[in-house]
């Protein structure tokens, strides 16, 4: 297995371009299942998770062709409605094909994703929504079997518009039901919906295709079903978590980094907290410049649904706060066990205690390089950041987690002066 080796202590300086958003690309690729014809998608990030969803789409009969500038995706002829375990187990977001398949074919079979390193991650809210829209759901042999009540969509039978309230504002749940509702009979109202920018990017893509959606980006989304959707060209929005990760890379190395081709307003909570900890952050049209300090001031952080501080930036913020000048508390409210990076940071000399949903961090002057192991995507990013700031060499193992969500991370960091390289494994 590959590992990443970092020699820490280099001040990062220069420009980093941001790739397309993973969590927007995945639902948008799934949404191509909703209709016929060639879609041309640009700014698609080159990531393992994108490869996984492409594999899944191909398994369903979709043709996906890579072009110099993106992907051409055509779902005119579907040959299956089955998302098998071997693909879903490597990427939970595979559940995003459930809504489009159900809307298009009237039936779908998707392996249950199960728990993962960051928590139990149930899909009960997705399933509740599909039931309200007129489907029967059965869990059998580890699979979700969903079909229109009364059988698959013969004689133009469709899902029914419904009023759906989410107990939790779920991101992929909102996306799954929004996609399904575009082709339903009548109007669907999603209440307490997720407001994340990725939900808005998906809604923009669907509206471009002819869907009638209003309220995306607020907690009430209204979708009026239409008869059919058209193929379109679409450019995926920039990745806000990749952006935040590189801003922290600038801050944690006391560097001066300009992150290009991003959307600063998607990161307001992160920018606010980084400014509060003393970093200088300057925003312009399509970028963000961070000028870091020798050691940041401690700041408390609580993760929340958008526009709150993103859980996907919690691990990176803990890395930064581990070298702060005092004590702070970072509280995780979205996922119940998203602190696996803390044990590894401690091996690098960080002083962090976990108390329930909170990490109590006492900043230390320097971290020390060490061999460490990543257990999920954002934990890997956290360990890379810690390695950039640490004295000596850090080896990050289980890099496949990182490759799921960061496009060319070593190359981008090398371009701003990091000493980082990948050692290919067996
Ligand atoms: N939840 C339920 N029932 C459900 C769905 C969710 O109780 O049916 C709970 C979850 O357990 C969690 C909360 O609701 O406590 C929010 O989870 P959500 O459903 O929003 O998470 P998700 O849609 O599975 C997406 C991102 C994650 C990101 C979360 C939160 C994608 C593909 N994934 O996951 O991204 O952490 O939203 O913002 O969009 C990552 O990129 O590293 C990543 C994990």
Pocket test for ligand 1, best of 334, 339, 382 (most atoms within 8 A of CB): 334
280 C-alpha vs ligand 1 centroid, how far in Å? 31
Residue 117 confidence (pLDDT)? 76
pLDDT (mean) for 52-74: 95
- 155, pLDDT greater than 60: no
Last residue of a domain, one of 179, 204, 234: 234
Q: Which atom of ligand 1 is nearest to the CA of 305?
A: 38
CB-based contact 409:48 (threshold 8 Å): no
Give 229's Cβ-side CA count (13 Å radius): 34
- 407, pLDDT greater than 80: yes
Which residues touch 304 (CB under 8 Å, ≥6 apart)? 269, 333, 334
Confidence of residue 116 (pLDDT cuts 50, 70, 90): confident
Q: Nearest residue CA, atom 37 of ligand 1?
A: 171
Ligand 1 pocket by C-beta < 6 Å: which residues?
23, 26, 93, 119, 121-126, 168, 170-173, 194, 198, 311-312, 334-335, 377-378, 405
Do residue 207 and residue 312 come from a single domain? no
Question: Residue 236, class by beta-carbon neighbours within 10 Å (0-12 exposed, 13-18 middle, 19+ buried)?
Answer: buried
Q: Nearest residue CA, atom 24 of ligand 1?
A: 172
- 115, pLDDT greater than 70: no
Do residue 13 and residue 27 come from a single domain? no
Neighbours of 140 (CB within 10 A): 9
Do residue 197 and residue 260 come from a single domain? no
pLDDT tens digits, 272-316: 999 999 999 999 877 999 999 999 999 999 999 999 999 999 999
- 218, pLDDT greater than 70: yes
pLDDT (mean) for 370-384: 95
Q: Nearest residue CA, atom 18 of ligand 1?
A: 170
What's the CATH number where 206 sits? 3.65.10.10
pLDDT tens digits, 229-253: 999 999 999 999 999 999 999 999 9
Do residue 219 and residue 257 come from a single domain? no
26 C-alpha vs ligand 1 centroid, how far in Å? 13
pLDDT (mean) for 69-90: 94
170 C-alpha vs ligand 1 centroid, how far in Å? 6
Do residue 248 and residue 225 come from a single domain? no
Do residue 193 and residue 227 come from a single domain? yes
Q: Which atom of ligand 1 is nearest to the CA of 306?
A: 38
425 C-alpha vs ligand 1 centroid, how far in Å? 31
Place of tokens 């009237």: 106
Do residue 318 and residue 182 come from a single domain? no
Helix (H) or strand (E) holding 59: helix 48-60
CB-based contact 101:61 (threshold 8 Å): no
Do residue 11 and residue 89 come from a single domain? no
Q: Which atom of ligand 1 is nearest to the CA of 49?
A: 32
DSSP string for residues in 14-57:
EEEE--B-HHHHHHHHHHGGGS-SEEEEES----HHHHHHHHHH
* CA–CA–CA angle 380, 386, 389 (5° rounding): 145
Cis peptide leading into residue 228 (ω within 30°): no
Pocket test for ligand 1, best of 23, 97, 146 (most atoms within 8 A of CB): 23
pLDDT tens digits, 7-61: 999 999 999 999 999 999 999 999 999 999 999 999 999 999 999 999 999 999 9
CB-based contact 411:10 (threshold 8 Å): no
- 153, pLDDT greater than 60: no
Number of domains in the chain: 2
- 125, pLDDT greater than 90: yes
Do residue 8 and residue 52 come from a single domain? no
Share of the chain above pLDDT 90, in %: 90
Residue 150 confidence (pLDDT)? 77
Neighbours of 91 (CB within 10 A): 21
Residues designated catalytic: 116
Last residue of a domain, one of 234, 263, 284: 234
172 C-alpha vs ligand 1 centroid, how far in Å? 6
Instruction: Please list the alpha-helical segments (H only) found in 267-406.
Output: 268-276, 314-321, 340-347, 377-389, 400-405
User: Which domain does 295 fall in, by range?
Assistant: 3-19+238-423
Confidence of residue 120 (pLDDT cuts 50, 70, 90): confident
Do residue 78 and residue 39 come from a single domain? yes
Q: Which atom of ligand 1 is nearest to the CA of 175?
A: 23
Do residue 137 and residue 30 come from a single domain? yes
115 C-alpha vs ligand 1 centroid, how far in Å? 12
- 426, pLDDT greater than 60: yes
Do residue 242 and residue 228 come from a single domain? no
Mean pLDDT rounded to a whole number for the chain: 95
pLDDT tens digits, 263-273: 999 999 999 99
Three-state DSSP class for 4?
strand
Q: How far apart are CA 237 and CA 240, in angstroms?
A: 9
Q: How far apart are CA 408 and CA 65, in angstroms?
A: 21
Q: Nearest residue CA, atom 43 of ligand 1?
A: 312
Residue 121 confidence (pLDDT)? 85
The terminus-to-terminus CA distance of the chain in angstroms comes to 5
Nearest to 51 by CA among 39, 66, 32, 35: 66
Last residue of a domain, one of 178, 207, 234: 234
Q: How far apart are CA 239 and CA 261, in angstroms?
A: 9
Which residues touch 343 (CB under 8 Å, ≥6 apart)? none
Nearest to 17 by CA among 402, 407, 404, 315: 407
Residue 425 confidence (pLDDT)? 84
């Amino acid at each position: 297995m590959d590992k990443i080796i970092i020699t820490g202590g280099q001040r990062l300086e220069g420009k980093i371009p941001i790739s397309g958003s993973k969590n927007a690309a995945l639902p948008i690729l799934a949404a191509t299942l909703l209709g016929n014809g060639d879609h041309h998608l640009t700014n698609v990030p080159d990531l393992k998770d994108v490869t996984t969803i492409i594999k899944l789409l191909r398994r369903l009969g979709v043709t996906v062709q890579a072009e110099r500038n993106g992907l051409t995706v055509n779902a005119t002829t579907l040959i299956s409605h089955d998302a098998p375990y071997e693909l879903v187990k490597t990427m939970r977001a595979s559940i995003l094909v459930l809504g489009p398949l159900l809307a298009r074919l009237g039936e779908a079979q998707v392996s249950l994703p199960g728990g993962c390193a960051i928590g139990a991650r149930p899909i009960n809210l997705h399933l509740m929504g599909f039931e309200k829209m007129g489907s029967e759901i059965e869990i059998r042999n580890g699979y979700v079997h969903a079909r229109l009540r009364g059988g698959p969509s013969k004689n133009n039978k469709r899902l029914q518009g419904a009023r759906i309230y989410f107990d939790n504002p779920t991101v992929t749940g909102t996306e799954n039901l929004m996609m399904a509702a575009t082709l339903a009979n009548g109007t669907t109202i999603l209440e307490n919906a997720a407001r994340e920018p990725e939900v808005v990017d998906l809604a923009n893509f669907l509206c471009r295709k002819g869907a009638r959606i209003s309220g995306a980006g607020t907690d009430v989304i209204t979708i009026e079903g239409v008869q059919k959707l058209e193929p379109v060209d679409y450019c995926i929005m920039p990745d806000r978590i990749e952006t935040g990760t590189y801003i922290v890379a600038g801050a944690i190395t006391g560097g001066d980094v300009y992150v290009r081709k991003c959307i600063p307003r998607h990161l307001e909570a992160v920018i606010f907290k980084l400014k509060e900890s003393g970093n200088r952050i300057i925003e312009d049209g399509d970028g963000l410049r961070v000028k870091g300090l020798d050691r940041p001031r401690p700041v408390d952080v609580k993760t929340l649904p958008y526009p709150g501080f993103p859980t996907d930036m919690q691990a990176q913020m803990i890395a930064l706060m581990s070298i702060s000048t005092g004590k702070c508390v970072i509280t995780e409210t979205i996922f119940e066990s998203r602190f696996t990076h803390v044990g590894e940071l401690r091996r690098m000399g960080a002083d962090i205690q976990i108390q329930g949903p909170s990490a109590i961090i006492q900043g230390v002057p320097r971290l020390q390089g060490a061999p460490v192991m990543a257990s999920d995507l954002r934990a890997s990013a956290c360990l890379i950041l810690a390695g950039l700031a640490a004295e000596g060499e850090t080896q990050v193992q289980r890099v496949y987690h990182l490759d799921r969500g960061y496009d060319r991370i070593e190359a981008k960091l090398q371009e701003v002066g990091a000493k980082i390289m990948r050692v290919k494994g067996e």
